[in-house]
Amino acid sequence: MKEVFSWLKAIVVALVIAFVIRTFIFVPVIVEGESMMPTLHNADRMIVSKISNYVGELERGDIVVFHATESKDYIKRVIAIPGDTLEYRDDMLYINGEAVEEPYLEEFRAQMNGFPLTENFTLEQVTGESVVPEDSYFVMGDNRQNSKDSREIGFVGKEKIVGKTNFIFWPLDDFGTVED
């Protein structure tokens, strides 16, 4: 009887630890679709860090998972943070009037044969706002021509963000951190 109680105690402790880790620290996610290609691929399995919600701020270039609807999470890249202005002109990103390089787009740009990867737009044209509001983010998929992102769904509120991710654990060929 003592041995059964010992096993039950160990199982309960393990379940509590797993619950705490999954609720407050890390959660696995599966990439669905091609909106983050070539950086991420359909069915990539990643670890999302929820710690970023409690410590520090999100930065431009971070890859985040957020609740797009009650039943659907999206994975996108943070392009603009609270207080930023944003414009795309001639396939170049401008944040607060300064040109910003996006090295994660180079592979797709090379395949476009001179055609723009990202169409021209301003923040105001797509959201009606001239700056990103407080506690909100403008996010886009790396596959700019095949991504439902802030250009369609608007800003993503901080409260909707599950966490940030940059670690692929499956498939093993892609195992490791995502390079910017």
Lowest mean pLDDT among 75-79, 104-108, 153-157: 104-108
Active site residue: 35, 52, 147, 150, which one? 35
| Residue range 26-177, CATH number | 2.10.109.10
Question: Is 6 one of the annotated active-site residues of the chain?
Answer: no
Please identify which residue in the block is written with the tokens 């009650």.
Answer: 70
Half-sphere exposure of 151 (CA within 13 A, CB side): 19
Which of 49, 50, 52, 76 is an active site residue?
76
CB 58 within 8 A of CB 139: no
Report the number of secondary-structure helices (H) and strands (E) in the chain.
4, 12
Q: Where are the alpha helices (DSSP H) in 42-143?
A: 106-111, 123-127
Residue-range domain boundaries for the chain: 26-177
pLDDT in tens, 95-154: 999 999 999 888 888 887 778 888 999 999 999 999 999 999 999 999 988 899 999 999
Q: What is the pTM of this model?
A: 0.82
Is residue 35 among the annotated active site residues? yes
Cβ(103)–Cβ(44) under 8 Å?
no
Q: What are phi and psi of 8, to 5 degrees?
A: -60, -45
Rg from Cα positions in the chain: 19
pLDDT digits (tens, 9 = 90+) for 16-53: 767 666 665 668 888 888 888 888 889 888 888 777 65
